[in-house]
Amino acid sequence: MTLDQAGARSNPQPSRVRPAVRAAAIGNAVEWFDFAIYGFLATYIAAKFFPPGDDTAALLNTFAIFAAAFFMRPLGGFFFGPLGDRIGRQKVLARVILLMSASTLAIGLVPTYDTIGVLAPILLLVLRCLQGFSAGGEYGSGASFLAEFAPDRHRGFVVSFLVWSVVLGFLLGSLTVTGLETVLTEPAMESYGWRIPFLIAGAMGVVGLYIRLKLGETPEFEALRNDGEVSASPLREALTTAWRPILQILGLVVVHNVGFYVVFTFLPSYFTETLGFSTTDAFVSITVASSVALVLIPPLGALSDRVGRKPLLICGAIAFAVFTYPLFLLLNAGSLLTAVAAHAALAAIEAVFVSASLAAGAELFTTRVRSSGYSVGYNVSVAVFGGTAPYVATWLVSRTGNEIAPAYYVVIAAVVSLVTVLTMRETAARPLRRVNGG
């Protein structure tokens, strides 16, 4: 492998790329399984960790703790992002999955409100915040890891497997929870069954940690380290030299995150709590929606390598802005078939946008500050917009009595991201820059 002073490089061999993609995707799916099961078990958690009497208030409190984890993500990004630029992406990926799985396992062991009173939601909040802190190091390091392993001409396809594995983790979480609800009685599920996915997550975390410990470091970071060009203060350097791309990725991923958490976290509860469908119906819908996204994301990522990132990002943002309201009308039409179709259509729109957004974000930064800049911008955005999406959507329905109200939030997010995309340059198929001026 050759690199010139500007950081151009020959493309890595497929024998190195494929194992890196498989390992990163599997580890990422495990981590997001851990993170997702909280959302799928929200109604059980609401009943177990908050005083009885007001189901809506309990659910809002549960989603508030869901959102609190996201407010920890910028702290995780500020910590793990620069760490990835100093010691390497692989080492950070191993650390974050260890922290995520340990805190997830602990959630499954916390006594309920009936046993320890107010200490129960406090412990839940602390552990959920640890999950958020861990997640803050995942996307910046993961996106940098895959982008720096990928050939220039196929970077969109390779990096798309990061978000593909997030959807896979969410789907596995849904399958696990629904499978338990099928084989266990309702009293058993309420008593102890809701804890089982958290315990499973602990075991899966061991597997994920083993996989990540076997990963090698990226060719880009190895070259940077060998040439003595690793930044001594990557966070400060990112904030002073890469403030524009940090702002761009912050705006870019607004609809990425709002759309994702509305589609894959909020809508399963919306199906049962607002639309009045059964948990089985909600399971069918989230399974169909997840499957649609899983099928579409890799080929759309490959398409972004051919036509560019911006066309897909623009199409995805416009589609959210134009079609979200009509699709929410379909969700509320009273038919399970139309509701599932609308859910799948929202997932398809999300797939169009996210298939290109992660690669586009990684390509904004130089290798010296890629993990720092990506982590800061992405996690600030997800804290303000993504993590609050289930809470805001639930609050809007409760406050206004309008079951279509969550659509407005998605439309506003789409407009913000569309404006941001229009300020970005096209980066598809271009070599990554190792240092400024490269």
pLDDT in the model for residue 433: 86
Dump the DSSP string for 79-125.
HHHHHHHHH-HHHHHHHHHHHHHHHHHHHTT---HHHHTTHHHHHHH
Closest CA relative to residue 82, chosen from 244, 284, 237, 241: 237
- What pLDDT is stored for residue 54 in this prediction? 66
The answer to whether 369 touches 238, Cβ cutoff 8 Å, is: yes
Encode pLDDT of 202-211 as tens digits.
888 888 888 8
Segment 337-352, tens digit of pLDDT: 999 999 999 999 999 9
Residues 201 and 33: beta-carbon distance below 8 Å: yes
Mean pLDDT computed over 232-256:
94
87 close to 233: Cβ distance less than 8 angstroms: no
Q: How many CB atoms lie within 10 A of CB 436?
A: 13
Whether 9 has a pLDDT exceeding 70, the answer reads: no
State the average pLDDT over residues 208-218. Answer: 85
The pLDDT assigned to 14 comes to 62
Q: The whole model's pTM is what? A: 0.87
3-class DSSP assignment, residue 9: strand
How do residues 152-171 score in pLDDT, each as one tens digit? 999 999 999 999 999 999 89
CA dist., res. 20 & res. 12, Å (int): 11
Helix 155-183, helix 336-362: angle, nearest 10 = 140
What's the whole-number mean pLDDT along residues 391-404? 83
Provide the pLDDT for residue 183: 93
Homologous superfamily of domain range 17-423: MFS general substrate transporter like domains (1.20.1250.20)
Please work out, in degrees rounded to the nearest 5, the angle formed at the alpha carbon of residue 127 by the alpha carbons of 173 and 64. 75
Residue 3 in this model has a pLDDT that exceeds 50: no
* Predicted local distance difference test score (pLDDT) of residue 7: 41
Neighbours of 346 (CB within 10 A): 28
| pLDDT exceeds 50 at position 8 | no
4 versus 223: the higher-pLDDT residue is 223
Q: Residue holding tokens 């609809």?
A: 255
pLDDT in tens, 176-204: 988 898 899 989 998 999 999 999 988 88
Q: Which of 34, 256, 297, 40 is nearest to 160 (CA)?
A: 297
Q: Which residue has the higher pLDDT, 18 or 368?
A: 368
For 216, list phi and psi in degrees, rounded to 5: -95, 170
Nearest by Cα to 423 from 364, 352, 349: 364
User: Above 70 in pLDDT, residue 77?
Assistant: yes
Answer whether residue 362 shows pLDDT above 70.
yes
Q: Which residues contact 367 (CB under 8 A, 6 or more apart)?
A: 7, 148, 220, 221, 224, 432, 433, 434, 435
Position with higher pLDDT, 290 vs 3? 290
Q: How many helices (H) and strands (E) does the chain have?
A: 21, 0
